[in-house]
A and B are shown apart, each in its own frame.
Chain A
Amino acid sequence: MRGVPAPVWIVLATAAFGALALFHLPAFYESFIYLCFFWVVLATSWNILSGYSGYFSFGHAAFFGAGAYTTATLANDFDLPFLWTLPAAAAVAALLGVGIGAVVFRMPRLRGELFALLTLAVTFVLATIVSNTRLDGGPGVYLSGVAIPRIAASPSTTFYLMGLIGAAATLWIAQAVHASKLGLGLFAIHDDEDVAEVMGVPTFGYKIAAFALSCGLAGMAGGVQAVFISYLTTGETFSIILPLNVVLMSVLGGTRHWLGPAAGAVVVTILLYAFTAGGHPVAGRAIVGLVLIAVILLMPSGLLGRFAPRAGGRARRRAVARAAIEPIPAEVEGAPLLAVHGLAKSFSGLKALDGVELEVRRGEILGLVGPNGSGKSTLVNVVSGHYARDAGRILCEGRDIGGLGAHRIAHAGIARTYQIPRPFAHLTVLQNVALPARFGRLAMDRHRAESEAMHWLAFTGLDSKADALPQDLNLHQRKFLELARALASRPRLLLLDEVLSGLSPTEIDHAIETVRNIRDAGATIVFIEHVMRAVMELTDRIVVLDQGKVIAEGKPDEVMRREHVVTAYLGRPHA
């Protein structure tokens, strides 16, 4: 059963429901199933952005409403046939989403709850504009004059089939995104957006793409629903109830599974209907509220949470062959691999980097040392694009990469590790390592990325943990996971930020051996470390930073004997 791919299931289910239309069910049943389809489309479309990437939108009513009023305006005022208005409804809603996304996704560190409120506010702004202009004008819009296309014998069958096609298309899109590179990127954004960007995921573009898809599908559903209910008011269309229902359905079903929101939608629609038909609509709403509370407290990953397939596609473990290390060709001549000139970065007055000058030559291990707070980690953060520089130039093979987004710096072949490991918590160890291979400089396909990942897991001794989640690793293993992730993108320049801190002496020996092997494979390394034994053993050259400035540079044993370097580390003697 688990071997059957999801699209096949979708086609089979669509065929079965399509065949049902031939039996001429009573109009009532067809309309009820249409409503289920309608909520499946809304909840599933919401989940493509909000469930996968974690940006919960409370503005789904805005996009639904944009679609509904587009259809109403085009069909009533411009006499466009109903079906022709639907692509326009989807396009208007998608454009609205792209416009909002282009503004809000540019904000640094936009937190989830702020995005939720922003999208909610957009809903009310749109509602006010629609109700005060000719689009609605206040009293509402009738669509009873719109001709319903004769797809089937009766209008109810027509809507049934339209709902079926909409739901099938939406589910197909949702599962395709889930299994694609886009889906993997969105799940990485969900876990740690900064790290995803540094690993090469174009986070801004991915969020916009997911938002556009999500809004477009909601807009299309709005267009169909507008004619189905045949009377629109801004109060009902842009109500807060719609996004809340959609969130409830998705959370209930499970946001990490492409089918979760659909399952939640069907359960909630049936539940609400059962109580309404029984004459207790108010009790039905109360039950739905209680169900939401119970799910959040007791089952946070939803009904289908435990069955969620792995993001970014099925792993083909058996086919994974261990590729030999391809040495990175050592180019002796030409510009230095990395050159930093006059680099400055301040944090509200504190100069973390104050005119740093340094060069990294091909094939070397450059030690970057200095007391705590000297600017070492800030330098890594600025070079990798995590922070924007204030001034100065960062040249990678002569090309200024200082103004590029972090994912484009990753594409240029610069990888880094984090001092405190930051794995993607919901992705397996293998996926964590395969991600930079897929999104990095070489943009490998899934199959190659996974064999590449297996190679580096074996290299760091983590191959037995490939299917574990990062939470099952100890600190030593997480440090090596950081290393494997950085290596899997086949970087030309590797920035190692205190990979040894917190390790025991034997673990340090193992790590030093590993770093040496990496260099022998042809990588250039910037090695930031406090463990002096490792610095002395490994590095070809060191640069000493103090208070954001380079104070010394040269051979390790010679530099560390210089008086001003000793002073920077230990302070001035008081004798």
Chain B
Amino acid sequence: MPSAALLGQSLLSGIFVGALYGLLGLGLSLSWGMLRQINLAHFALAFLGAYLTYQLGLAGLDPFLSLLLIAPAFFLVGIALHWIFDRFKVSPFNSLLLTFGLTVVVESVIQGIWTADFRRLDSPYTALKFHIGNLYFPFAGLLTLLMAVALSVAVWALLRYTDLGKAMRAAAEDAPIAAAFGIDTVALGRMLSGLCAAFAGVAGVAIALTYTLAPSQIYSWIGVVFAAVMIGGLGKPLGPLLAGIAIGISEALTMAVTAPAWAPLVSFSLLIVVLLTRTRRV
């Protein structure tokens, strides 16, 4: 059995990686649950954001400033994406295939520009960490957690308390009826799609701060983030974060107790169990 300090540290790293799952899952869950678009390209966008952060970092730009550039730019990408979905009336299942095609294209573009070699953002924050007792808290992890919590709570409050949010929920529930009551569902859809893409950009900055980048890693996140989204409940803003942290912790503990290679078993078994037992909710 590993020591208490090791377990505590795994717990912490589980929370931090889980926060990233939640951050990535937030946009995915919203677009699936409220726009009926299963957006695989969300992962590609996030990695594009990470590579842009890396590139801007090479140019000497602080990652926080990059964030201010990337998020609005990705917002526009999201709007463009929704325009295509709307124009061609893409069904939920075809959205999965279409965004897979898009993922492959983005991956190829990334590989074409930055090659398949590993890249690592060099910034003052990447190595920064704080010590409390035996435990250390990496700055990037804390920042990811903070952003994930802030965005999830903000979206939750937006949907719950504002007229805009209520209109979005009405449009998600039944678009034709919402339109009959004077809600511009297309404009709302574009806005939501833009928000989701912007969240992918935010997640990208978080990835760049924490991880070494390679184009093929786009695919390695799909399964576990989908698990967080399904467990958390589609279209529920707080769901992916809570489920993501639960998965992150269980993975980290599995790695500490057994071999690291067994970790994927936890998230995917969880996903299977959730899919089999809670089909009504998702």
Contacts and interface: CB of A to CB of B under 8 A. Distances in A.
Interface of A: 56, 103-104, 107-114, 116-118, 120-122, 124-125, 127-129, 131-132, 138, 239-241, 244, 247-248, 251, 282-283, 285-286, 288-293, 296-297, 300
B99 to A, nearest CB: 9
B176 interface: no
**Residue among B94, B219, B276 with the highest chain A CB neighbour number at 10 A:** B276
Contacts of B272: 118, 121-122, 125
Given A118-B276, A240-B222, A244-B100, 4 more contacts: A112-B93, A117-B230, A282-B112, A286-B108
Contact of A297 (B88, B230, B262): B88
Contact of A114 (B97, B104, B219, B279): B279
**Residue among B93, B96, B108, B230 with the highest chain A CB neighbour number at 10 A:** B108
Given A121-B268, A125-B269, A247-B97, A296 B226 contact: no
Contacts of A113: 38, 92-93, 96
Given A239-B219, A293-B101, A296-B101, A282 B111 contact: yes
A282 B105 CA distance: 9
B1 interface: no
B265 interface: yes
B146 interface: no
Given A116-B96, A118-B272, A128-B268, A285 B259 contact: no
B170 interface: no
B155 interface: no
A288 B223 CA distance: 23
Interface in B93-121: 93-94, 96-98, 100-105, 107-109, 111-112
B219 A240 contact: yes
Nearest to B44: A289
Please name the 10 residue pairs, one residue from A and one from B, whose CB atoms are nearest each other, closest first.
A289-B104, A292-B101, A286-B108, A289-B105, A293-B101, A289-B101, A121-B268, A128-B265, A124-B268, A121-B271
Contact of B261 (A117, A132, A286): A132
A47 to B, nearest CB: 14
Given A293-B101, A297-B88, A114 B275 contact: yes
A170 B201 CA distance: 44
A105 to B, nearest CB: 11
Interface in B200-223: 219, 222-223
B180 interface: no
A307 to B, nearest CB: 21
B264 interface: yes
Contacts of B90: 296-297
Interface in B244-276: 259, 261-262, 264-265, 268-269, 271-272, 275-276
A251 B23 CA distance: 32
A110 B107 CA distance: 31
B222 A285 contact: no
B268 A110 contact: no
A296 B94 contact: yes
A103 B264 contact: no
9 contacts: A110-B279, A113-B92, A118-B272, A121-B275, A124-B223, A124-B264, A132-B261, A283-B108, A283-B112
A219 B223 CA distance: 23
B4 interface: no
Interface in B3-55: 38
B59 interface: no
B271 A117 contact: yes
Contacts of B92: 113
A107 B109 contact: no
Nearest to A114: B275
B164 interface: no
Nearest to B88: A297
B84 interface: yes
A251 B279 CA distance: 27
Contact of B103 (A251, A289, A291, A300): A289
B232 to A, nearest CB: 14
Nearest to A294: B101
Given A117-B275, A132-B261, A289 B108 contact: yes
B185 to A, nearest CB: 21
Given A124-B223, A240-B219, A293 B105 contact: yes
A107 B276 contact: yes
B227 interface: yes
B154 interface: no
A244 B105 CA distance: 13
A138 B84 CA distance: 43
B97 A251 contact: yes
Contact of B107 (A131, A247, A285): A285
B261 A107 contact: no
